[in-house]
Structure 1
Amino acid sequence: MALLVALALFVAQAFNLALILRDRTAFRVAQATRPAAVQIADALDREAQGRPLSQDRGRVRIAVASPLTPAMRDQPDLAHELASQLAELGVPVRHVAVALASPDQYALRPTRIERRMMARDGVAPQRRDALVMTVQQPSGRWLVVASPWSRNDSRLFWRLLAQTLILYGAVLLPVLWIARRISRPLRELAAAARGYSPSSAPVPLAENGPPDVKAVIAAFNALRLRVTAMLDEKDRMLGAIGHDLRTPLAALRVRVESVEDDTDRARMVETIAEMNRTLDDILSLARMGRPSEPPTEVDLAALVDAVVEDFRDLGAAVTFEEAERLRMRLRPSLIRRAIRNLIENAVKYAGAAEVTLEAGERHAAIHVADRGPGIPQERLDDVFDPFIRLETSRNRDTGGIGLGLALARSIVREAGGEIVLSARDGGGLCATITLPR
């Protein structure tokens, strides 16, 4: 809006300048030619009355030939206007020519006032450009009239510039102020949309601004309430589904104990445990973005060490380089689960895992490295999609349905961090969790 108004003002001022320059040019042409035409007519009248013209005196002088030279700048518009003025006064002419001359090309004779000032102050007159007007009479005689000519239009330029600045200040400042007041509710709406989080209760946005902006804000408030209600309903549904599925699994686990064959019983128990783990992963992934655990101040180094100790207790070959205490504010259970999923993948597919913690000024990085078969470079991002398993590089007998990495990435991103997979030199894979401090 401000740019359009500024452009419109600029165009209007450009037209204004063109009109002023045209009027000023016409005025200057008339101002230069009309006195010269009157002086020529008066001089010819005096000559007819017996007062002859002189070559070196008076405003109108006689010249044997035209004093104009090719170096002078011809002024055809002034010549045409002077010829018209002489025709109106009844002065017959054969040819009229006007040129603009510099002080070096034509020296103006000082006026009476200038001569008096020269005599009084003893200073030379100022050198000025001259407008030389020549008229050839039918008899062939040349009449010459010269007058000072100023080409300095800087005052006009500065006046127009000051006028333009005043217009811009008088028009643009209120427009900018009004536009800012109108756009403020839109900026607040955009900030509320970007900052919307399902984990926090929605706070209605104040309905300010013009009627159409108020309508948009009201629609956004209603939409946010509907989305929150849908997510609440989804959580309740997931809780019911989890409860309904765990009940028959628990009953099935009890009945498995009656199986006499130890091998079959162990396989059934492992299948039921895998189903419970899969159900937990699906429910956890579906509930991401609305965690029930509040952020707390924890020691990240101690948290990682506790996860590693759990795997060591199970006999897994997991190493961890001791790190200094690193206090961070996060959701410990979720971060522990993300780290556990990465270590579990490394143990499953490589038999061992190397865990390190690196602390920077603004970020903390957790590295989980292995020497397993790795993942092709072009598929490193695909494994984060739910239910994706790369059968060409991972053994299908290790179990899982492809939710571990998807859940880990969702947890880390919900904490404001990122998780990246990269190939190791010499083979293997390195998973890096980066968390803001």
Structure 2
Amino acid sequence: MPWPRSLAGQMALLVALALFMAQAINLALLLRERGAVRMAQITRPAAYRIADALDQEAAGRPVVSDRGRVRLVPRDPITATMQTQPAVARELASQLTDMGVRVAAVDVAIAKPWQYVIPLSRFERRMAMRAAHEDGPRDSIVIAVKRTDGRWMALAGGLPREDLRLFWRLLGQTLILYVVVLVPVLWVARRISRPLRELAAAARGYSPAAKPEPLEESGPPDVCAVIAAFNALRLRVTAMLDEKDRMLGAIGHDLRTPLAALRVRIESVEDDQDRLRMADTIAEMNRTLDDILSLARLGRPSEPETEVDLAALVDAVVEDFRDIGETVTFEEAERLRMRLRPSLIRRAVRNLIENAVKYAGAADVSLASDERVASIMVADRGPGIPPERLDQVFDPFFRLESSRNRHTGGIGLGLALARAIVEEAGGRIVLTAREGGGLVATITLPRV
């Protein structure tokens, strides 16, 4: 049986197992007590009859009467085919000793109806026939006692029948306990687990872009306290993110202002080569600043989702690179309507193509789709990336020094920003080695 994963299931199973163990122990104790009572039912009357028979013999009266059960026999009536009962024999011997009756040996066995070897009186035969007619053949307990003078005394009697009502009573008690205990336990567990499930769903579905709605505080006081703490935490996180956005906006404004001033001042530099290098440095700083701000603001985009043609969007990005003379090809694809944030997806595709152009000189772009996902592939014939580094290159500010230096590789935010954009849209981006050399970057976006 699989272990339940829910709180209610685990509590119910543990309580059920505890009740089962308790009832099993209770049954063992009852059976032990029942065995002691059954032993007393067998041995105590037999001990009294044997003591009474010996008293009658000491008084000069015969041992056996028509209604008696104790009689003298020439030998031990218990045969090898009978089922001996040494525990009963020891108990009977102990009781005879307590009563002051001295005997040489006690032997007890259970005999089947056809194993009787003791001659019965007329009364005993009549009672045996009546019992057989009413209840069917019954096993008998045969008791043989060897006296100190060497003679044997024997008696036989019916075994007490097993009382099956004890089992059914215990089963009924168990079912009642399960109903009385498990129903409240399941109710309490559900009362606790329902708000916890809602809390887990709210935590998983938390989005910085959405306005935080307070979660209803329900359940026991401890659970209500956890939900209240979560509501307060979500408000604090949202306030921190708002403050971060304001700070990033201020940083972007404060940095772009002096960069713009520098861009104006370099126009007075007479050396054309120095002026161009300064302009490139300022442009690179602006791009780096844009990447850092874009990466920091992801998760709280200001651009709403709109329905766009993904094929047209990718084709427009490719045309931008063609306009500046880059070798970028695009396989024509059918119109593909999707809901997404076009500016961010365009930025992710542009970063991938830009990487391919920088490190391979050209890029091959294609688009494929099925009923569930759409895939954008950007392939190149560059030096590639070692397999053990394919995931590491998505880390911010990570660069492969051996093949991508500062001059060609920026500061290592392009792939990190592309992955963050794609994952924010519910998709994924992977890098794989291209057959024949090079690299293939694949963006996979869900269509629904």
TM-score, normalised by the number of residues in structure 1: 0.88
Unaligned runs of 5+ in 2: 1-10
Which segment is superposed worse, 102-111 or 207-216? 102-111
Structure 2 residue aligned with 1:135? 145
User: Equivalent of 1:402, from 409, 412, 429?
Assistant: 412
Does the aligned pair in 2 maintain the 1:349–1:395 contact within 8 Å?
no
Unaligned runs of 5+ in 1: none
Structure 2 residue aligned with 1:266? 276
User: Equivalent of 2:308, from 292, 298, 302?
Assistant: 298
User: Equivalent of 1:320, from 321, 327, 330?
Assistant: 330
Matching of residues 56-135 of structure 1 within 5 Å: 59-86=69-96, 92-103=102-113, 105-106=115-116, 111-115=125-129, 126-135=136-145
Per-residue deviation, 1:291: 0.7
Matching of residues 6-405 of structure 1 within 5 Å: 6-41=16-51, 43=53, 50-51=61-62, 53=64, 59-86=69-96, 92-103=102-113, 105-106=115-116, 111-115=125-129, 126-149=136-159, 152=162, 155-405=165-415
In structure 2, the residue corresponding to 1:358 is in which secondary structure?
Answer: strand
Per-residue deviation, 1:50: 4.8
Does the aligned pair in 2 maintain the 1:375–1:393 contact within 8 Å?
no
> For residues 14 and 290 of structure 1, do their structure 2 counterparts lie closer, same or farther at Cα, with a shift above 3 Å needed?
same
In structure 2, the residue corresponding to 1:257 is in which secondary structure?
Answer: helix
Per-residue deviation, 1:70: 4.3
Per-residue deviation, 1:401: 1.4
> For residues 351 and 78 of structure 1, do their structure 2 counterparts lie closer, same or farther at Cα, with a shift above 3 Å needed?
same
Does the aligned pair in 2 maintain the 1:114–1:125 contact within 8 Å?
no
Q: Which amino acid aligns with 1:425?
A: E
Q: Which amino acid aligns with 2:393?
A: V
> For residues 24 and 107 of structure 1, do their structure 2 counterparts lie closer, same or farther at Cα, with a shift above 3 Å needed?
farther
In the aligned structure 2, how far is the partner of 1:286 from the partner of 1:26? Answer: 80
Q: Which amino acid aligns with 2:311?
A: A
> For residues 49 and 322 of structure 1, do their structure 2 counterparts lie closer, same or farther at Cα, with a shift above 3 Å needed?
farther
Q: Which amino acid aligns with 1:115?
A: M
Per-residue deviation, 1:279: 1.2
Which segment is superposed worse, 100-109 or 317-326? 100-109
Per-residue deviation, 1:317: 1.5
Per-residue deviation, 1:90: 6.1
> For residues 404 and 103 of structure 1, do their structure 2 counterparts lie closer, same or farther at Cα, with a shift above 3 Å needed?
farther
> For residues 152 and 268 of structure 1, do their structure 2 counterparts lie closer, same or farther at Cα, with a shift above 3 Å needed?
same
Deviation digits for residues 338-397 of structure 1 (CA, Å, limit 9, x no counterpart): 011001100111111111222133222211110001111121122111111112122543
TM-score, normalised by the number of residues in structure 2: 0.86
In the aligned structure 2, how far is the partner of 1:51 from the partner of 1:291? Answer: 113
In the aligned structure 1, how far is the partner of 2:117 from the partner of 2:134? Answer: 13
In the aligned structure 1, how far is the partner of 2:239 from the partner of 2:142? Answer: 91
Q: Which amino acid aligns with 1:15?
A: I
Give the count of matched residue pairs: 432
In structure 2, the residue corresponding to 1:187 is in which secondary structure?
Answer: helix
